[in-house]
Structure 1
Amino acid sequence: MKYELRKGYPLKREEFDERMKNAEKYLFSLGVNDPAEEVGRTNALFYLAKIHYIQEKLGYKPQGMFIGAPDFTFQTTPHKFYGSVPEGGKIIWGDGSYDLILGEMEFDFCGMLVGAVKNDPDLEEILDTLYKMKEKNLEIGGRKIGLRNFSQGSHFLNLYEVKNYEVLDLPKVVAVLHTSSDEMRDLLIKFVRERSEETQTPFGESCVLQGDNAREYERLCKYASEFSRRKRKLLFEEIFGSSEIIANHNHYELTGLNEAIIGCNIISKRGEVFVITLSDNLSAYLVKGKMNISPEKIEEIVSSPREIERWVYKKLRKANILPHGGGHKLNEIDSVAKVILYPDGKVIISKCESKTGTSAYVNMKEISRSYRSEGILDRVRSLKLGDHYAALRFIHGIKVDF
């Protein structure tokens, strides 16, 4: 990657190159190696460099690494992209003993539930049920839950027919609820705003939580994680009644004091079931996770495995990672030509072989994009991250809130 430093950038060229080279040593990708991943890698490298810089400043041994899942891509939220927050992977910034959390990740505890639908689903009946739900005061632990759950962003309520369901001993029809927990996200954003220390780095600003504040934030995140799963289950039962829950996982949350997942799934036990949604014909798949990454597969993704530090190798062996979907795909960009660094931000210069000239972006919000459909399941299989369990055929999609 080519970087250009403009006048006033706070690092000299030699130190900048050294820090970026060091960050590259701690970025590992299981992705599909397309232009979207290239943009994602660029942001992830800046975030790792930011983590290392902050840790040095605070007196910690620099420990930061990122493991990109097969759906490794980029953030579309402008301020997160500006802050170099990665997307589609697992971020680690210590051994679990550092009282340190960077608050700009803004966890929303997004995730997906898969539940059995007992009767043949009728789209209009489901819509009527959603409409009536607005009259209810649904609560979890005394906290009222919001009812804007399916219409925003990439969230949805979809229904699928399970192919070969009888052979697989699965229900004929399942519902997939893709929701987050804005109730807890907003509470935690307020916590970060009030308790964090704004820290300037050459790689962007950070909202640093330390000591008791970091521990309290972790405690709140644990509650929010469970709240989000309970919320999805409550919504499912309000719409479809009590039925079997096949899977219910968050894919954007703090998973430890020094660890988080940002747009990927984490396996806690072999055979655990997850859903992966892809864009081609709105298909989806159930996958049984495997504990990963195996030593053989680490050798495939790392050019010099013997040179990996011991703590890094241990984290790779216990990555236990799966994609949650296809991840963003770029429609008009073939590669990143270079990144221009200004004192207060970065500009990505992209090129497209099918057009003359180049384009400049400060974020990816308005860029032409879609979702990947190819290569994701192939990577899951080839890297032995999980086993294909069932294919789901799309029936209905609902992006409606009342």
Structure 2
Amino acid sequence: MSTADASPHTALARAREHCFMAGVDDTGMALCEANVPYGLAKIHHAQAQRDLPPDATFVGAPDATVTRNPRRWQQGFGYGGVYQWSGDMAVLDIKPNACGMSVGALPELPQLEELQARLHELDRAGLALEGVALDNDLTESNHFVDLFELGDRLDDEPLPAPVAQARYVYVMHSSGHEHRGPSPTGPGLYWDQSDTLAAMAEVVHTPWGRLHVLTGDAAQGWHRFYKQVEDFNHRRRETIAKFLFGPHEVLINATHQGLVRSLNQANIGCYTFDQPGALFPLTLSPSLPAFLVRARPNVAEAHWDTLGWSDRAERHDLAARLRNTNLLPHGGGYTYPQLRGIGRVLEDGPDARRFELLPADPGAAPHYVDTPRGLPYDYRGMEVKERMEALDLGRAALRLDLRYVLTA
């Protein structure tokens, strides 16, 4: 029996077996783990309809948590991990947008008041790249510019000279909205913000709701457009940083929400890489230092039994894929200390689910949400770094001590 013909209950159970979590085992991760199988089951259904092996997986990084994008969540996807599937198929509901973080070296620490004046000037005068007006997203949601002084070396491996010689750095988290809808460059990244992309998409109807996909030439063309946007967003971060800080050397510019490695491998809220030893920024809560992290090949099979992966990896022939996932956390991620866990998931219809939340007070009654967006949250802290290192995903190479946060 194919996945497309299996009962929804059986197919969803199979999708749960394709969800591999390496997170910190808190309520943020539990919510992610409860929602992701619905998106995976949709992809499996679409794969089976096309005579492809229904093998879509999610590998959750140490910062795996919810997505606060309501449409992505409703479609059955979480945040902080790598989605991968077989087949020449783009899954638009995952909503890659080439968001990322850049790190630049500064010869001295700028005065906060001077940078705030530059930020206000950016809003007043505007800035353009290749004729495209840039949207200032630096103070929206969880985007930011933080200024750090380089702290202690944390391993014995040599650092690239520009990093070793720096005294201060900034970390910028930014993506922009310039290409989420249609533009002269292409049809847009988000199907729900582009009538052009929505018209291109094939809508797959599954027992858990709709899935928007592109296949064949349309998928390859859209992926080429995505790579153009990814390149644009790299240069966008550098352009804004040069406006704020003047000429300087960019040390790292890495995408944590995109299709970095291929059309059918999406890193959503984490880094993925092909070059072990590369450095990536890890930012936690505003009250903690950040780190430059050295990537290691992962995920190591030595940890699979502890994670509960071994039997499922063998049963579904996924060992080779898991061994080459190569992911790192990009931040702390959201957590919910007011909750002690997740109870049932109530299915009210296609793309209509309610999650039973268990309060930290065992005597309090559960309550129900369809999206976690409105829930009060905290940012995780050092437990994410500790989990990363315990699983040999990467090692902190350098501590960054926060000096201030650039705000409006």
Query: Are the structure 2 counterparts of residues 77 and 303 from structure 1 closer, same or farther at C-alpha, using a change threshold of 3 Å?
Result: closer
Deviation string 1:80-103 (CA, Å, 9 cap, x unpaired) is 111112210000111xxx221121
Partner of residue 34 from structure 1, selected from 26, 35, 40: 26
* Structure 2 length-normalised TM: 0.88
Q: In the alignment, is residue 50 of structure 1 matched against residue 58 of structure 2? A: no
Count, aligned residues: 384
Alignment of 1:77-226 (within 5 A): 77-94=69-86, 98-134=87-123, 138-140=127-129, 142-164=130-152, 169-186=164-181, 187-189=188-190, 190=194, 191-226=196-231
The alpha-carbon distance between structure 1 residues 366 and 348, as it changes in their structure 2 partners (threshold 3 A), is same
CA RMSD of aligned residues (A): 2.2
Alignment correspondent of 2:255: 250
Residue of structure 1 equivalent to 2:53? 61
Mapped contact 2:47–2:54 kept (Cα < 8 A) = yes
Q: Is the 8 A contact 1:275 1:286 kept in 2?
A: yes
- In the TM superposition, residue 280 of structure 1 has moved relative to its aligned partner by 5.8
Q: Secondary structure at the match of 1:184?
A: coil
Contact 1:156 1:177 in 2 (8 A): yes
Query: Aligned pair in 2 of structure 1 residues 392, 343: CA closer, same or farther (>3 Å)?
Result: same
Measure the CA separation in 2 of the matches of 1:47 and 1:202. 11
Structure 1 Cα separation of the partners of residues 225 and 41 of structure 2: 27
Partner of 1:291: 297
Distance, in Å, in 2 between the alignment partners of 1:307 and 1:109 is 29
SS at match of 2:7: helix
Equivalent residue letter for 1:139: A
Which residue of 2 is the match for residue 373 of structure 1? 381
Report if aligned partners of 1:331, 1:368 keep a CA contact under 8 Å in 2: no
Identity of aligned residues (%): 27
Q: Which amino acid aligns with 2:357?
A: S
For the residues of structure 1 that align with 2:394 and 2:313, how far apart are their CA atoms?
A: 27
Query: 1:227-376 alignment to 2 at 5 Å?
Result: 227-255=232-260, 256-279=262-285, 281-305=287-311, 308=314, 312-344=318-350, 345-354=352-361, 355-376=363-384
1:303 Cα deviation from its structure 2 partner: 4.8
Q: Distance in 2 between matches of 1:103 and 1:143?
A: 27
Distance 2:393 2:257 in 1: 19
TM-score, with normalisation over the residues of structure 1?
A: 0.90
Give the drift of 1:129: 1.8
Distance 2:233 2:313 in 1: 40
Deviation of 1:139 after TM superposition, in Å, equals 3.4
Q: CA deviation at 1:283?
A: 2.4
Question: What secondary structure does 1:163 align onto?
Answer: strand
Moved more, 312-321 or 350-359: 350-359
Residue in structure 2 matched with residue 4 of structure 1 by the alignment: none
Q: Distance in 1 between matches of 2:84 and 2:146?
A: 33
Q: In 1, are the aligned partners of 2:100 and 2:174 still within 8 Å (CA)?
A: yes
Cα distance in structure 2, aligned partners of 1:211 and 1:312: 25
